[in-house]
Structure 1
Amino acid sequence: MMTISTRPAVFFDRDGVLNRDVGFLFEASKFEWMDGAREAVRLVNEAGYFAFVVTNQSGVARGFYEESDVQALHRWMADELDAVGAHIDAFEYCPDHPEAPIARYRRDTDRRKPGPGMITDLMKRFPVAADRSFLIGDQERDLEAARAAGIRALLFRDGNLATFVREALKLG
């Protein structure tokens, strides 16, 4: 019998953690990396952890932009990270909102944080060691999602993300 080896993961919230939260961001031209964000992802990669992004994107449900815009921004982020030798293993986003003006996105789903769905979906798709994994978020709903998924939750407010991650990895 073959055993699949698991490894820990860092789940990054996007807006307010990897980049400045400017509200309903979908254009690369308005994207501003947080200090140390790209280095933080590289540190996670070098430590042998999976690096994931889990982000609510209700701007889709509100009609501000399309899912293709979210995907294009994530491809741009991946290229930017690649340029510094870093990578995200998977980007997950939830376009839904329970009060969405666009009917097909008007739903209450456990994939929308504070629900744990994006995290648990990733843990089903990848061999994640949940007991050694953690989420970095800037809002209470991020931390609630992590706790509901059974992983450690860390609050990042500001400062240098690489410094924050370096400390968090020592705890891991």
Structure 2
Amino acid sequence: MPRIPRPFGIVLCVVALAGCGGKAQHTTTTTAPAEHTASAAERAALTQVAADLINAYEQADAKTLCGLLTPAARDHWRSQLAAGNPALDGRPCPQLITSDTFGDPADQPPAIDEAGTFKFRRVTTDGTHATLTFPDGRSWHLIRTGGHWLITDIPLVPRSLMSSQTT
């Protein structure tokens, strides 16, 4: 029988052991993938969503802004706004952003202040879910659908309406 060179033999043993251990873990583990710091490409794509939201908000481009939110996020945002201002109840997303609710520059939603600085403490992802964490500790949550990122959770209610809500 031919003799296997020592380094190659060690590599084979390590690979075999890793394969056994890895296989057992995959059959017994059902937890979500671990969150990790986003790669440069992921970070660029995720922070572009923040830039797109700010641009859409500043230009009152309701269609684009609403398109950056998941349907569930739009519904949640709509209910939060209606809780603070019943006149907004039942309005579709594009009408909300063009309403006079967002006309006071001193009463901007926290998300606008956060993204306006374009500084992030952390940008993390687990593959299909991501989090943009701002220096003050607040976070936006995103999900990858159809090859692009959509916001699932964002503080997009003006402060005046947030303070009138009861929790």
Asked if these proteins are the same fold (TM beyond 0.5), I'd say: no
What TM-score bracket applies, with the shorter chain setting the length? under 0.3
Whichever of the two has the greater Rg, that structure is: 2
Higher-RCO chain (CA-CA 8 Å, sequence separation at least 6): 1
Superposition TM-score, scaled by structure 1 size = 0.24
Higher fraction of helix: 2
